[in-house]
């Protein structure tokens, strides 16, 4: 289980390994953070990497020109390029079917066959792009990470779990509009194992340890069911209390400001 955190510009002195959104006032030295640039172009990506960013996650650029992602990965290295995916649940509309297949009785039919997420532009406008498909396409171009900002509800957990089964450690998740969301169901039902905590997060050490212990308990449930566990960093078979103790003593997941 791994945690990182969104940082503000004035926190960058202690932000190694964390995430920051691209703004015009970023400092000249970026201190090995991952920078998420919503509307930045290829030149901006190169500039941010030259200023020390560990990785740049592109947003609108990847939606407008998917080949740009491949070019950037080839130029700068796959480990330094990712995508930032803002997503919302796709709206399903119901309408009366035009044809009457059931002995003359028309029935209501949905606008789409199954639930899914729609990718958003930086300005919040919907693109009509299926997030699950698009993430797979982008990761297939050789990039190293997809950060998915989404507000998970019960109906989203199967989508989330399917994505993680397909792409595993390449995926990080973060709340989009609900910073105080309970993240435990994300870990238990959605199988999320890498979380970026919101800016100015108020979760304390005990809360993060509880979330992480949920992952351990989930793996134990899988072991008892006879299913194979694929999560290498969850201390498989460990007692949850031991896992909590390990979390509070290690640098595995907890941001430094939480441990202090």
Per-residue pLDDT band for 184 (boundaries 50, 70, 90) equals very high
The tens digit of pLDDT for each residue in 127-182 reads: 989 999 999 999 999 898 999 999 999 989 999 999 999 999 999 999 999 999 99
Q: What residue spans define the domains of the chain?
A: 2-89+117-200, 203-260
Residue 257: the pLDDT is 39
Q: Which of 189, 181, 203 is nearest to 247 (CA)?
A: 203
The tens digit of pLDDT for each residue in 85-125 reads: 999 998 765 566 666 555 556 565 554 556 789 999 999 99
Arithmetic mean of pLDDT, 237-250: 44
Phi-psi region of 11 (alpha: psi -120 to 50; beta: other; left: phi over 0): alpha
Which token pair is 78?
């796959």
Residue 11: the pLDDT is 78
Share of the chain above pLDDT 70, in %: 73
Q: Which of 52, 57, 47 is nearest to 29 (CA)?
A: 52
Per-residue pLDDT band for 217 (boundaries 50, 70, 90) equals confident
Q: Using alpha carbons only, what angle is made at residue 11 by residues 7 and 12, rounded to the nearest 5 degrees? A: 85
Report pTM: 0.80
Which token pair is 82?
């990712």
Please say if the pLDDT value at position 62 is more than 90.
yes
Tell the CATH superfamily of the 2-89+117-200 domain: Aldolase class I (3.20.20.70)
Which token pair is 50?
């030259």
Q: Which residues pair with 102 in a beta bridge?
A: 105
Please say if the pLDDT value at position 192 is more than 80.
yes
Residue 91 vs residues 117, 119, 149, 174: alpha-carbon distances, Å:
9, 12, 17, 21
Q: Which of 172, 167, 143 is nearest to 67 (CA)?
A: 143
Residues 6+ apart with CB under 8 A from 189: 154, 157, 160, 161
């Amino acid at each position: 289980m791994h945690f990182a955190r969104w940082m503000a510009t004035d926190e960058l002195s202690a932000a190694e390994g964390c995430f920051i959104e691209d703004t015009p006032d970023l400092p000249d030295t970026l201190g090995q953070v991952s920078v998420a640039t919503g509307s930045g172009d290829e030149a901006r990506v190169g500039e941010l990497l030259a200023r020390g960013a560990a990785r740049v996650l592109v947003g609108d650029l990847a939606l407008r020109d998917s080949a740009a992602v491949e070019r950037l990965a080839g130029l700068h290295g796959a480990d330094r390029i990712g995508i930032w995916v803002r997503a919302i649940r796709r709206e399903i509309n119901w309408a009366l079917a035009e044809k009457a297949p059931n002995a003359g009785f028309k029935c209501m039919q949905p606008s789409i066959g199954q639930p899914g997420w729609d990718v958003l532009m930086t300005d919040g406008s919907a693109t009509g792009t299926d997030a699950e498909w698009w993430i797979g396409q982008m990761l297939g171009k050789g990039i190293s990470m997809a950060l998915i900002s989404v507000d998970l509800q019960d109906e989203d957990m199967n989508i989330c779990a399917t994505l993680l089964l397909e792409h595993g450690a390449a995926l990080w998740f973060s709340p989009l509009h609900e910073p105080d969301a309970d993240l435990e169901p994300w870990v238990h039902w959605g199988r999320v194992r890498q979380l970026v905590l919101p800016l100015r997060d108020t979760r304390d050490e005990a809360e993060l340890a509880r979330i992480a212990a949920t992952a351990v308990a989930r793996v134990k449930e899988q072991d008892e069911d006879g299913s194979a566990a694929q999560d290498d960093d969850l201390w498989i078979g460990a007692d949850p209390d031991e896992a909590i103790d390990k979390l509070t003593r290690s640098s595995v997941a907890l941001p430094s400001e939480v441990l202090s």
